[in-house]
Each structure stands twice: as C-alpha cells, then as structure tokens.
A and B are shown apart, each in its own frame.
Chain A
Amino acid sequence: MQDDARRKMWTTALAWFIALVVFFPIFWMAVTAFKTEVDAIATPPSLFFTPTVENFQEVFARSNYGRYVWNSIAVSFGSTILALAFAIPAAYAMAFFPTKRTPGTLLWMLSTKMMPPVGVLIPMYLLFRDMGLLDTVTGLMMIYTLINMPIVIWMLYTYFKDVPNEIMEAGRVDGATPIQELFLLLIPLAVPGIASTGLLSIILSWNEAFWSLNLTSSNGAPLTAFIASYSSPQGLFWAKLSAASLMAIAPILVVGWMSQKQLVSGLTFGAVK
C-alpha cells in the first residue's frame, strides 16, 4: 500500500514537472504580454513587475489589429459553414444510402488531403492573381473550405453512421422525402457531432499558416499572417508581440481543450478512436 502511495507521489511530481516545462513557453508569453517593453527584454528576466495592459491597447491602436481578428473569424467561420454545407448532404448520402462505390469515394476524398500544398502553390498563386483573389478573405475562405472538406465529410460520416437506422426508417414510413429526412430527423439528432466537426474545422482554419502567408499580405490577412510581421529584425517588440499572440491563441486554445476527444478521431480519419 505504502509502495503504491509513494509511486503515485513520484508520478505526480514527474508528470507535473513535464507538464509545466512543456507549457512554459505559452506561460512565459502570457506573462510577457503584461510587461513593459523594457521589462520584456530585461536580463535577468524580471519576474516581479507591475503588470500593464498598455500593450493590448497599443496593439489595437497601432496595427489595425481588429481587422486581422475579423479576417481570422470570417475566414475560419465562413469556410467551416461552407464546408458543412457541402459535407452534410454528402455524408448523409454515404452513411444512409451506401453503394459499392462508397468506401472508394471516402478514401478518394481522404487522398485529396494528401496533396502537399507546396506542390500546387505556384498555380494557385497565379490563379488567385488573375482572378483578383490575392489578399482577399474570400480567396482564403475558398481554399480553407477545400482543404478541410475531406476531414469534415469523414467526421460527419462517422457520426451519421452511429445514428440508429430505425429512427430514419420510421421517418421514411411516415412518408418523409430524403431531404425532409435530412433536415427534420438527422440534423437535429446529429447536432453534437456537427458541432464538434465544426469546431475542429475552425481550429484548423484559425491556425493555418501556409496559404495565409503566401496568398495574403494585409487586407485579407488573418492573425497567423499578421503575427508573422513581428519577425522583422528591426527592434524588439516582445511585449506587443506577446499581447497580440495571447489574444490570437487564447480563444482557440480553449476550444481545442474542449474538443480534444473529437479531434483525435477527426485528425486520424477515425483510425484511432
């Protein structure tokens, strides 16, 4: 018994030590966000300082921060809604009216996700340039819809398959058309599944940083691209960088923590549950 207690104590100590080390960079960034610029670069690092919210005010005042926040929200929510609009009917069709080709279709959809973005960067850049989509929220939203759609379809398919067929059959006996069946029976039943699929899609779009860096610069730039502008070597604005970063990651961190279970099955295409 005593052995067990001792082991638990050691496990607690080790696990918490590792957790704090792993989390430290985020903690340190959060602390720095409340320092003055002088305190932020001080050596030895200042641990006891008078916290200030000046950085947050300055980030908003100086850099049009609100627009980048809005772009991030528009792009991630917009692309998620679009992806769901395409994916819900498709997943419904494959989950409830499977044909011989359904497994093949699902795998093919998954395989479109394997395309390395850099393999099609050049043509996408030129297409966007010619269509006037460079540096626009619309353009980025289209790309995110496409890159997230396979995952969204897969997750919804998995959820829809768990809805008991009897309920759908009952509706059919009552004379519901497939469309009524989808909107009146399935969607209300599958709200939790649709919601967690949507959350995963929002997280992925919010943090996407290949297309946003390459296809946007200012007007259509989301937070990922805006934060990258702090990488210029002129001057060290660590406190402002931290304040801008903290606001950019805090909401999505909370969402991520809440939906970690769904994330696993979504990111592994159901291979790990």
Chain B
Amino acid sequence: MTTLANQQMTAKPAKNTREIDTRPLLWPSVIVLFLWMIVPLAMTLYFSVIRYNLLNPMLTGFAGLENYTFLFEDPALWTSLWNTLVLVGSVLIITVVFGTLFAVLYNAEFHGRGVARLLVIAPFFVMPTVSALVWKNMLMHPVNGLFAWLQSLVGMEPTDWFTNYPMLSVIVIVSWQWVPFAFLILLTAIQSLDQEQKEAARIDGAGPVDMFFHIVLPHLNRAISVVIMIETIFLLTIFAEIYVTTSGGPGTATTNLAWLIYSVGLLQFDVGYASAGGVIAVVLANIVAIFLVRTVSRNLQQG
C-alpha cells in the first residue's frame, strides 16, 4: 500500500483528471487476472501434447496430437458431448420457458406477491450439493421417496428415477435450480416495460395472448439472450449435481464433458488425455463467450 501511495505522490499533480497515472490502481487486478487466465490454460495446452500419466512415470515425451487422436476416437467423448448438449439444451429450454411464464405471472397484481416471489427464487440460493441430495433422497428415492409414495397412492409402480431415467433426473434437478435464475432476471426486465405502451395496446383491443407475443416477448428479447448465454457458461460444466447423484452413470448415461475430464484426469490420472478434453471444453465455452461479450459490449456503449 505504501509503494502504491508513493507512486501516486510522485505522479505529477493533475490539472486534468485524465492525466493521473492509474496504473498502480489498475494493474494489480489486471496482472493477477492475466496470470489466472494464461498460466493454467498454457499448462492445459502443454499437457495435452505430452505423454503424462500420474500412475506411470515411465511414460514421457512429446505426444503431438496423439492425445487428441485418442480422444476423438474414444466413443466416450462423443457420448459426453451428446450428453452435455442434451443437458444444456433441455435445461435452457425449460428455464427460459418457465422463467418467462413465471415472470409474466408474478408481475401481475395479487395477494402476497412479495412473499410468493421470494419462495420462487429460493432454489437458486441453495448450494448444488444440497439440492441434488434432497431431490435424490427425499423426493426421488424409489422406496422411501415422496414421489414413490405419491405414485403408490394412484396405484402406480414407483419409478427408480436414477436407474431408469438418469439424465431426466439430472435435468429436473438442474432446472429446479436455474428456473429461479431465469425468472429473477426476466422479472427484472419485464418491470421496465412501459406501462403506457401496455395500456395503449389494451385500449387498441389486444388480448393477453397478443400482448404477450407482440409486446412482452420482444421487450424481453435481450434479457432472454443474456439468460441463455450466462446459463450456457455455467451449464457446460455442471459437475456437483452429477458428483453426488449418478457419478456419470449408469454406464456413461450422465457423463458430460466435465465429468469425463474429471474421471479421466483425477480418477484414472491420465493427465495428457484429460487435458486434451479440457482444451475442447475451453473451445466450446469460448464460442458462447464471444456472443455474450458482444451483447454486453453493445450495452456498455449504450451507456
């Protein structure tokens, strides 16, 4: 802190605010973020082109694209990419549809609106390991779970969710956590909708359905795209929910890219191979990130 202050003292006195040397203020953050961005990524890239297995120290040397070749020939990669796509896609559709409908519903006037809204956003603040375990045990357990009991009430056989519908179960849990997020963002966005515009449309004889499609939805357009992009970044690497429920199984039924990399790298200790997977994850995330950064930067320019 003293060096920082000293450097500020020695900077020439500013007549214009633009002339102050801001480097000592800005650079600490820039430097640590730069290291955080570049060092692990460079290591991942490096590991992905060498032979490196923690269990087999004899295995060394440059591997070229060997790890990538193995990876692309491994059916597990394609399964995991497909699973990632199914998981991300389903959760996105569910959260955007329900988030939008909830935002419209909870924007209307009704008794106890404030409290009802709090209840709906609550799941977003529950840590992922807790939500996954509560769903897995207390709700979806095939013998003692609440769903099993409800099914038996109407004379159905209880469903063994995680054995028969593992991916669906994971999707349900993750959606329960992320619908509140979409809802919260879209509710905030819907509140900025011009009341007069709505009133004018109503006077022109627009019904609720017309209103939704021609006024509300266009207004929410950008908020929805922001929700989709931010969720995609988080959902691409869903991990904790799979860790405590299915461990990627049965078989590879719920192995997404994150779980594949984890199991190859930290359970089978094949660093080179796992790092090649890591590079794929980075590339995928970056494709999404480009769109997000563009949207945000447009916003930054507007004001």
Contacts and interface: CB of A to CB of B under 8 A. Distances in A.
Contacts of A238: 137-138, 144
A125 B188 contact: no
Interface string A108-127: 01111111111111111111
Contacts of B111: 8, 12
Of the candidates B110, B139, B230, the one having the most CB atoms from chain A within 10 angstroms of its own CB is B110
A177 B4 CA distance: 12
Contact of A236 (B41, B121, B144): B144
B44 A248 contact: no
A99 B265 CA distance: 43
B127 A224 contact: yes
Interface stretch (A48-56, A57-65, A86-94, A188-196): A86-94
A120 B123 contact: no
A49 B39 CA distance: 56
B129 interface: yes
Contacts of B32: 86, 146, 149
A213 B41 CA distance: 20
A112 B113 CA distance: 38
B236 interface: yes
A150 B124 CA distance: 21
A29 B134 contact: yes
Contact of A256 (B124, B282, B285, B300): B124
Nearest to A168: B17
Nearest to A12: B110
Interface in B10-29: 14, 17-18, 20, 22, 24-26, 28-29
Interface string B20-54: 10101110111011001101110110010000000
B105 A15 contact: yes
Interface in B85-118: 102, 105-106, 108-113, 115-118
A223 B300 CA distance: 37
B63 interface: no
A203 B288 CA distance: 25
A241 B137 contact: yes
B189 interface: yes
B137 A116 contact: no
Contacts of B288: 114
A271 B228 CA distance: 13
A167 interface: no
Of the candidates A29, A122, A242, the one having the most CB atoms from chain B within 10 angstroms of its own CB is A122
B3 to A, nearest CB: 12
B222 A271 contact: yes
Contact of A110 (B122, B239, B296): B296
A153 interface: yes
Given A18-B102, A207-B127, A94 B116 contact: no
B240 A209 contact: yes
B226 A26 contact: no
A86 B299 contact: no
Given A41-B144, A228-B240, A116 B233 contact: yes
Interface in B142-163: 143-144, 146, 148-149, 152
Interface residues of B, number: 113
Contacts of A248: 127, 130
Nearest to A222: B127
Contact of A245 (B26, B116, B134, B223): B134
A112 B36 contact: yes
Contact of B176 (A25, A206, A257, A273): A25
A231 B274 contact: no
A210 B258 CA distance: 10
Given A18-B102, A153-B29, A117 B137 contact: no
Contacts of B223: 268, 271-272
Interface string B59-97: 000000000000000000000000000000000000000
A257 B123 CA distance: 11
B193 interface: no
Contact of B18 (A99, A115, A269): A99
Given A105-B26, A178-B20, A263 B184 contact: yes
Contacts of A110: 293, 296
B185 interface: yes
Given A16-B116, A238-B137, A267-B230, A119 B281 contact: yes
Nearest to A28: B138
Nearest to B153: A44
B75 to A, nearest CB: 20
Contacts of B117: 19
Given A26-B122, A43-B152, A120-B44, 19 more contacts: A12-B112, A15-B106, A19-B120, A89-B4, A90-B26, A103-B300, A109-B30, A115-B37, A118-B237, A118-B262, A121-B266, A121-B274, A122-B261, A122-B278, A177-B8, A178-B14, A207-B127, A245-B133, A252-B125
20 contacts: A11-B109, A23-B120, A89-B4, A99-B22, A105-B26, A106-B300, A116-B281, A122-B43, A125-B265, A146-B33, A178-B8, A209-B129, A223-B127, A231-B133, A231-B243, A252-B125, A257-B125, A260-B184, A271-B295, A271-B296
By Cβ-Cβ distance, the 5 closest A-B pairs, closest first, are A123-B43, A114-B289, A120-B40, A256-B125, A209-B240
